[in-house]
Amino acid sequence: MSSSGDANRGAVHTAGAGQPFGALESPLRARSVCESTAAQPLSALPDLAAIRRCFPGLVGDDVLLDNAGGAQVPLPVIDAIGGYLRRRYVQTGAGYARSREAGSVVSAAHAWIERLLGGEGAGLAILGASTTQLCHLLARSMGRRLSRGDEIVLAECGHEANIGPWLELERDGIVIRWWRADGDSFGCPLPALDALLSSRTRLVCLPQVSNLLGGVVDVAEVTRRAHAAGAQVVVDGVAFAPHRPCDLSAWGCDWYLFSTYKVYGPHMGVLFGSHHRLAELHPPNHFFIPREAGAYAFELGGACHEGCAGLLGLGAYLTFLAGGAPASALEELPDRAVVRSAFERMAALEMPIQRQLIEGLRSIEGISIIGPDTFGPERVSTVSFVHDRVPAREIAAEAHRRGIGIRHGHAYAYRLVRALGLDPADGVVRISAVHYTASEEIDRALVAVGAAVGAPLRRDVRA
């Protein structure tokens, strides 16, 4: 959708996330769709069956364990997008009623994402097509401020989205310092960071969770060390955000990116920047769009408007997940306490699944987990592995024959796979679960892996 004529969107970009979005009633309807007819009390936490009923994509015999690639979307998100397209699909920035309504959806979505991240009041959520696109935008904008000889620390364990854009700055004389992946721990060890930091370090770029390894990095600690050296921190939170609550005000990082299509939302990306850091950059949108337009000054062509409606629907889903207020209260987007309980609920649902997956893989002879082979809060349920004899593509193919959606390859963590001595063409097998994954689905995946490598099936795994 073109955003021409949108130059005054800054003027309507004022609705807070807590502000009612009135006739955007579809999340309310979706709430009732999510519930069973034999509904549990509204104050109770929904069980797995009720949760899965929210996701039309989970209906069917196949098993979706490629959630780190992209998650399914719940009905409130689907309905909010549909509702927007049916009733509000006009250009923002004009004075007529529908245009103002459309503008307030876009504004509310920005404010809501800032709240979701725990950065409300501290900075802006810039919405774009993807994390990759936004990281390129950030690197280009930041590059204008850097000087020859300035240094950037890049974590080798990262996804290429937060590596490639920074490497392009080498052409301008920026020096890259590699924070190497370590073959024992697999990730980029924290103690190794200190030796890379100097008075020339301007940026440290890292993943909060590698989309291949699954271990959670202590972003607050990395930020503390980088800030002590005078460097900014760019965190790729894509593989973390679907699993745990984000808390930017506690972590203190300067920049945070994640992809909403992995967090049960529409296919979009988010770049959060603190007000202070954004003020240092030249906004890249058209010259006549003032900095006061906020995020729009950084959103080339504007954000996907129907996607913004979908993001608001995500708020309704999180409310439901947190044990939800009665439907009428969903006219307001969830506060931080609700966001936290929704993600706590997700983590609680994931923990046994994670354990089942790791223990199951450990029990199959010849398999090595690439990443932490422990279960618990130190990792998310994105688990990669190789077999000492059977290529990853054959294991994945066996699973695919059985209707199980898993993935093999380098998952765009190409440099990490190469650093670990693996062949990027074959890479690893990755099984990624989220809170809606059922134990039976993990069983089916383990049985498929066992069959692919010719290992006897464990008795406690159902076929």
Q: How far is the CB of 331 from ligand PLP (least distance, A)?
A: 30
Burial class (CB in 10 A: 0-12, 13-18, 19+), 178: middle
Q: How far apart are the first and last CA of the chain?
A: 48
438 in Cβ contact with 455 (< 8 Å)? no
Q: How far is the CB of 414 from ligand PLP (least distance, A)?
A: 12
Percent helix, strand and coil across the chain, each to the nearest 5: 40, 15, 45
What is d(CA 202, CA 402) in angstroms, rounded to the nearest whole number? 49
Residue 216 sits at φ, ψ, to 5 deg, of: -90, 130
What is d(CA 347, CA 332) in angstroms, rounded to the nearest whole number? 24
Rule CB under 6 A: is residue 416 a binding residue for ligand PLP? Answer: no
Binding to ligand PLP (CB under 6 A) within 116-155 occurs at 130-132
Query: Which of residues 142 and 268 has its CB atom nearest to ligand PLP in the complex?
Result: 268
Instruction: Output Rg (C-alpha) for the chain, integer angstroms.
Output: 22
Rule CB under 6 A: is residue 238 a binding residue for ligand PLP? Answer: yes
Rule CB under 6 A: is residue 242 a binding residue for ligand PLP? Answer: no
- Picking from 375, 357, 369, the residue whose alpha carbon sits closest to that of residue 432 is 357
Rule CB under 6 A: is residue 269 a binding residue for ligand PLP? Answer: yes
- Picking from 27, 73, 23, 77, the residue whose alpha carbon sits closest to that of residue 52 is 73
- Picking from 209, 203, 212, the residue whose alpha carbon sits closest to that of residue 246 is 209
- Which member of 207, 265, 273, 334 binds ligand PLP (CB under 6 A)? 207
Please work out the total of residues on this chain that contact ligand PLP, with binding judged by CB under 6 A.
13
410 in Cβ contact with 417 (< 8 Å)? yes
- The residues, ordered by sequence, that sit 6+ positions from 17 with a Cβ below 8 Å of its Cβ are 108, 111, 112, 114, 115, 120, 315, 333
Query: Which of residues 248 and 447 has its CB atom nearest to ligand PLP in the complex?
Result: 248
- Which member of 259, 274, 356, 432 binds ligand PLP (CB under 6 A)? 259
Q: How far is the CB of 155 from ligand PLP (least distance, A)?
A: 11
Binding to ligand PLP (CB under 6 A) within 347-406 occurs at none
Q: How far is the CB of 131 from ligand PLP (least distance, A)?
A: 4
Q: DSSP E strands: which ranges in 323-455?
A: 367-370, 382-387, 404-405, 407-409, 428-432
Q: How far is the CB of 73 from ligand PLP (least distance, A)?
A: 15
Per-residue contact string for residues 293-312; x = within reach of ligand PLP by CB under 6 A: --------------------
Of 24-32, 221-229, 234-242, 452-460, the window that binds ligand PLP (rule: CB under 6 A) is: 234-242
Query: Which of residues 234 and 447 has its CB atom nearest to ligand PLP in the complex?
Result: 234
Two structure tokens written together for 254: 């300067």
Query: Which of residues 34 and 134 has its CB atom nearest to ligand PLP in the complex?
Result: 134
Per-residue contact string for residues 84-123; x = within reach of ligand PLP by CB under 6 A: ----------------------------------------
Locus of tokens 């929704």? 342
Instruction: Name the strand (E) or helix (H) holding 251.
Output: helix 248-251
What is d(CA 141, CA 284) in angstroms, rounded to the nearest whole number? 7
Query: Which of residues 127 and 293 has its CB atom nearest to ligand PLP in the complex?
Result: 127
Per-residue contact string for residues 164-203; x = within reach of ligand PLP by CB under 6 A: ----------------------------------------
- Picking from 295, 325, 278, 228, the residue whose alpha carbon sits closest to that of residue 27 is 325
Rule CB under 6 A: is residue 239 a binding residue for ligand PLP? Answer: yes
Query: Which of residues 158 and 313 has its CB atom nearest to ligand PLP in the complex?
Result: 158
What is d(CA 199, CA 228) in angstroms, rounded to the nearest whole number? 10
Rule CB under 6 A: is residue 159 a binding residue for ligand PLP? Answer: yes
Q: How far is the CB of 132 from ligand PLP (least distance, A)?
A: 3
What is d(CA 306, CA 87) in angstroms, rounded to the nearest whole number? 11
Query: Which of residues 137 and 289 has its CB atom nearest to ligand PLP in the complex?
Result: 137
Query: Which of residues 334 and 405 has its CB atom nearest to ligand PLP in the complex?
Result: 405
Rule CB under 6 A: is residue 415 a binding residue for ligand PLP? Answer: no
Query: Which of residues 431 and 452 has its CB atom nearest to ligand PLP in the complex?
Result: 431
- C-alpha pair distances (Å), 112 with each of 62, 119, 311: 34, 10, 8
Binding to ligand PLP (CB under 6 A) within 210-229 occurs at 211
Query: Which of residues 91 and 223 has its CB atom nearest to ligand PLP in the complex?
Result: 223
Query: Which of residues 84 and 412 has its CB atom nearest to ligand PLP in the complex?
Result: 412
- The residues, ordered by sequence, that sit 6+ positions from 396 with a Cβ below 8 Å of its Cβ are 406, 407, 408, 429
Binding interface with ligand PLP (CB under 6 A): 130-132, 159, 161, 207, 211, 236, 238-239, 259, 269, 412
